[in-house]
Structure 1
């Protein structure tokens, strides 16, 4: 019965766009000593075993990574990596279903693992 409720809740959430995700509170907001390119490369490598390669595009003073869901092309997460004036990057992770405690944590775990050198 609990599984049916979870499946129903996930089905009702619908699709999220990149703009929708960027207008929600970030799941993770940190500063890293890595450049935007270095952080993006680390995150791509960490997610290689569980996700398709993310779409990486220029965004303001850095990069934006769009990570797709496992079963569709809809975005599961957006990572905005911006260059800081004194070296390093500011990183914000926006996840689809960020308020669902049983969501896959592979994206958040990889984003956290790539923060430090």
Structure 2
């Protein structure tokens, strides 16, 4: 069953680039009390077992961009833009197939868990 869902997701979604993902509506837009690096480290730890290594890129002044790889295929599955904001961060999550109800929820779950705590 998992193979069918993965194959269907690859077939329906194709490959997307970071800029294409960021041109879609964000899946999540929140504010955290954590600094960008602290939040990025948390997301990386949460996704360490379910995804390959995340790409970390500098983003704006003091911000970080995380590019999450797809489980199957090439290209990004999600992009997390983390900007410094006062004593914390503003976070925007863009996911591939964000309107597909059967998409994997590990990225959004990791992003949500890391907001506080």
Asked if TM exceeds 0.5, the reply is: yes
Partner Cα distance (1:8, 1:48) in 2? 24
**Matched residue, 2:111:** 111
Following TM superposition, by how much is the alpha carbon of 1:12 offset from its aligned partner in structure 2, in angstroms? Answer: 3.6
Instruction: Report 1:1-117 matches (<5 A).
Output: 10-61=10-61, 62-84=63-85, 86-117=86-117
Partner Cα distance (2:114, 2:9) in 1? 31
Following TM superposition, by how much is the alpha carbon of 1:17 offset from its aligned partner in structure 2, in angstroms? Answer: 0.5
1:52 counterpart SS class:
coil
Following TM superposition, by how much is the alpha carbon of 1:7 offset from its aligned partner in structure 2, in angstroms? Answer: 5.1
Structure 1 unaligned runs (5+)? Answer: none
Partner Cα distance (1:21, 1:63) in 2? 16
Distance verdict in 2 for CA 1:8–1:51, change over 3 Å? closer
1:93 counterpart SS class:
strand
List per-residue Cα deviations over 1:65-115 (Å, max 9, x = no partner): 00000122310000000000x210000000000000100000000000000
2:92 counterpart SS class:
strand
Partner Cα distance (2:38, 2:91) in 1? 12
- Name the TM-score, length of structure 1 as normaliser: 0.89
Following TM superposition, by how much is the alpha carbon of 1:10 offset from its aligned partner in structure 2, in angstroms? Answer: 4.5
Structure 2 unaligned runs (5+)? Answer: none
Distance verdict in 2 for CA 1:113–1:9, change over 3 Å? closer
If you compute each CA radius of gyration, which structure gives the higher value, 1 or 2? 1
Distance verdict in 2 for CA 1:15–1:83, change over 3 Å? same
1:67 counterpart SS class:
strand
What is the aligned-residue RMSD (CA, Å)? 2.0
